[in-house]
């Protein structure tokens, strides 16, 4: 499940020199072409040491880029306070933050954002929208500085996996809304650690490709977090319909 997108990243730079290395925007090359490219690349890698070494080097470079993005910003805490330090990390990654009683601060398409939040020393951050950001386990160090976070959106984050979810428990007192929709590495094993978040009121677990049985997982998560509205999967999904039942509408009465 994690394999296809990772190998995509390494295929593109080798063969389509015109495209950039970052292809987060989705593949444009048709499927058949990709398969041919992938096997050609594999063939070359198996026969030439140079190609193998080059591919290894490119992979290491990708990984060190992600590490660089997730370096620690906790040193900013003494000077500017934890909320500004955490907000700076999110904004640098390309996410958006909302301080209490203030508007959303988003970076524009060039990555620039207004520096007004450096003055908000005592104002806690209420909501973070880290969709499509490259946050990983180490980067969560910075996110966990935001002790009074109420809403967190980690939609489509490529590096958020089960280990990261096990780290969210310090936010248990304040976190009320969490969205994990579209994260390719989150599975039901990571969802099991969300039981610490007892104040959670809304959890979005739609479109998780690594979850083996979405309908059953939805039921188990609902049982685990009784006060929380779990959104995203129809519990009837995956059930075999009898011959007399017809799927008229997908909304099940339990989720009304």
Partner 1 sequence: VAHTGRTVGRLGEGDWDGKVSEIKKKIKSILPGTSCDLLPDTSHLPPEHSDVVIVGGGVLGLSVAYWLKKLESRRGGIRVLVVERDYTYSQASTGLSVGGICQQFSLPENIQLSLFSASFLRNINEYLAVTNAPPLDLQFNPSGYLLLASEKDAAAMESNVKVQKQEGAKVCLMSPDQLRNKFPWISTEGVALASYGMENEGWFDPWCLLQGLRQKVESMGVFFCQGEVTRFVSSSQRMLTTDDEMVILKRIHEVHVKMDHSLEYQPVECSIVINAAGAWSAQIAALAGIGKGPPGTLQGTKLPVEPRKRYVYVWHCPQGPGLETPLVADTSGAYFRREGLGSNYLGGRSPIEEEEPDPENLEVDHDFFQEKVWPHLALRVPAFETLKVQTAWAGYYDYNTFDQNGVVGPHPLVVNMYFATGFSGHGLQQAPGVGRAVAEMILEGSFQTIDLSPFLFNRFYLGEKTQENNTM
Residues making contact with partner 1 (CB under 8 A): 1-3, 6-7, 42, 45-46, 52, 55-56, 59, 63, 137, 162-163, 165-167, 169, 187-193, 195-196, 212-213, 216-217, 220-221, 223-224
Minimum distance, C-beta of residue 35 to partner 1, in the bound complex (Å)? 14
User: Tokens representing 147?
Assistant: 């002790």
User: Tokens representing 145?
Assistant: 């500085």
Q: With respect to partner 1, which residue has the nearer C-beta, 151 or 187? A: 187
Q: With respect to partner 1, which residue has the nearer C-beta, 213 or 252? A: 213
Minimum distance, C-beta of residue 190 to partner 1, in the bound complex (Å)? 7
Q: With respect to partner 1, which residue has the nearer C-beta, 15 or 163? A: 163
Q: With respect to partner 1, which residue has the nearer C-beta, 189 or 201? A: 189
**Torsions phi, psi of 243, nearest 5?**
-65, -30
Q: With respect to partner 1, which residue has the nearer C-beta, 138 or 148? A: 138
Distance of CA 249 to the CA centre of its chain: 30
Geometric angle at alpha carbon 182, from 227 and 252, rounded to 5°: 50
Minimum distance, C-beta of residue 63 to partner 1, in the bound complex (Å)? 6
- The residues near 77 (Cβ < 8 Å, ≥ 6 apart) are 85, 145
Minimum distance, C-beta of residue 109 to partner 1, in the bound complex (Å)? 31
Minimum distance, C-beta of residue 237 to partner 1, in the bound complex (Å)? 14
Minimum distance, C-beta of residue 192 to partner 1, in the bound complex (Å)? 5
d(CA 98, CA 131): 14
Q: With respect to partner 1, which residue has the nearer C-beta, 181 or 216? A: 216
């Amino acid at each position: 499940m994690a394999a296809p997108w990772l190998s995509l990243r390494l295929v593109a730079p080798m063969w389509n020199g015109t495209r950039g290395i970052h292809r987060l925007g989705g593949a444009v090359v048709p499927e058949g072409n990709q398969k041919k490219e992938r096997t050609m690349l594999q063939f070359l890698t198996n026969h030439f040491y140079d190609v193998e070494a080059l591919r290894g080097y490119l992979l290491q470079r990708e990984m060190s880029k992600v590490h660089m993005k997730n370096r620690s910003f906790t040193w900013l805490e003494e000077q500017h306070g934890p909320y500004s330090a955490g907000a700076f990390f999110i904004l640098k990654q390309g996410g958006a933050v909302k301080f209490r009683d203030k508007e959303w601060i988003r970076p524009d398409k060039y990555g620039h954002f207004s520096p007004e939040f450096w003055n908000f020393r005592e104002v806690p951050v209420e909501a973070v929208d880290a969709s499509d950001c490259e946050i990983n386990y180490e980067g969560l160090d910075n996110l966990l500085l935001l002790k009074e976070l109420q809403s967190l959106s980690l939609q489509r984050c490529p590096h958020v996996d089960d280990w990261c979810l096990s780290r969210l428990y310090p936010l248990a007192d304040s976190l009320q809304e969490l969205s994990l929709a579209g994260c390719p590495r989150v599975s039901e094993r990571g969802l099991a650690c969300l039981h610490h978040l007892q104040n959670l009121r809304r959890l979005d677990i739609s479109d998780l490709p690594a979850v083996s049985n979405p309908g059953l997982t939805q039921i188990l998560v609902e049982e685990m977090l009784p006060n929380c509205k779990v959104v995203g999967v129809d519990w009837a999904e995956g059930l075999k319909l009898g011959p007399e039942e017809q799927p008229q509408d997908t909304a099940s009465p339990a989720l009304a």
